[in-house]
A = this chain, B = another copy of it.
Amino acid sequence: MRIDLSFTPHQADEAVLRDKTVVAIDVLRASTTIITALSNGAREVIPVPTVESAVKLSAQLAGDVVLLGGERGGRRIQGFSLGNSPAEYTPERVKGKSIVFSSTNGSQVLANGRYARSLVVCGFVNMALVVRFLRERPGDFILACAGTNGAFSLEDSVCAGMIVHSLLKDGSLEVTLSDGALAAESLYRSHGRNVLKLLQSTQHGKYLQEIGFEGDLKLCASVDSIPVLPQLDGNVIRLKREAERKDITPAVAPS
């Protein structure tokens, strides 16, 4: 099992991700929001790169089962029903809906992964299921971090590093790490002990606090709080399977 990693979407374009197994990571907040939406009964999330394509696509789809969601500059896009705050994606609002979704960083990774062999969406909130998925299908994969505005983001890298750490701990796997995967694991060990504190300290975490989304950081930091595994299927993200919380083995044993 060889683990590759890209810290920004620039590093892992469509050609790099083609036919690969991809783990898409945008902790703050697209991953967490998509995981929350699907866990709360949304039928599907359709990621699109631009606001224009979101509006166009939603106009083509049937009216009352479609919601527009997403952000620019961290804030809800004008005319959209939902922003990029996981807290907005309640069962009351999203059950049975198709959500056309566009966010600044996450959408780019998802767009780059459209020709992946398999792509799953990962945050801290569904860590154990992602690790289990990777463990059960030994093979090479790439951890594709969304980053922030094209640059490295510490929270995505530490989340990726938590995956690497969990797989390394499993003595039964033969794991080869790229430099990036090795670095992420180091960063997890340096910064991953207190995930909420981490999110409060990173560039994007600070920005979200400044514009009033400090509550989202807690949701995004809750390791294994939402045991579902969203998977990209064609151009649509749906749940791969739903597991009961009691079945989940913690990805990283509490120390």
Contact = CB atoms under 8 A, between A and B. Distances in A.
Given A5-B152, A7-B152, A202 B186 contact: no
Interface of chain A: mostly helix, strand, loop or mixed: helix
Copies in the complex: 2
Interface in A129-159: 148, 150-154, 157
17 contacts: A5-B152, A6-B152, A7-B7, A8-B10, A8-B11, A10-B11, A11-B151, A11-B152, A151-B178, A151-B180, A153-B179, A154-B179, A154-B183, A179-B204, A186-B190, A186-B191, A189-B190
Contacts of A182: 154
A235 interface: no
Contact of A179 (B5, B152, B186): B152
Contacts of A157: 183
Interface residues of A, number: 27
A5 B10 CA distance: 15
A203 B179 contact: yes
Interface string A148-182: 10111110010000000000000000000011101
A196 interface: no
A94 to B, nearest CB: 31
A187 interface: yes
B151 A6 contact: yes
Interface string A38-64: 000000000000000000000000000
Given A7-B7, A10-B11, A153-B179, 7 more contacts: A7-B152, A8-B10, A151-B178, A151-B179, A154-B179, A179-B202, A190-B190
Closest 9 CB pairs between A and B? A10-B10, A152-B180, A154-B179, A186-B190, A179-B203, A152-B179, A179-B202, A153-B179, A183-B187
Contacts of A148: 179
A203 B186 contact: no
Contacts of A190: 186, 189-190
A25 to B, nearest CB: 14
A182 B205 CA distance: 14
A193 to B, nearest CB: 13
Contacts of A202: 179
Nearest to A203: B179
A183 B187 CA distance: 7
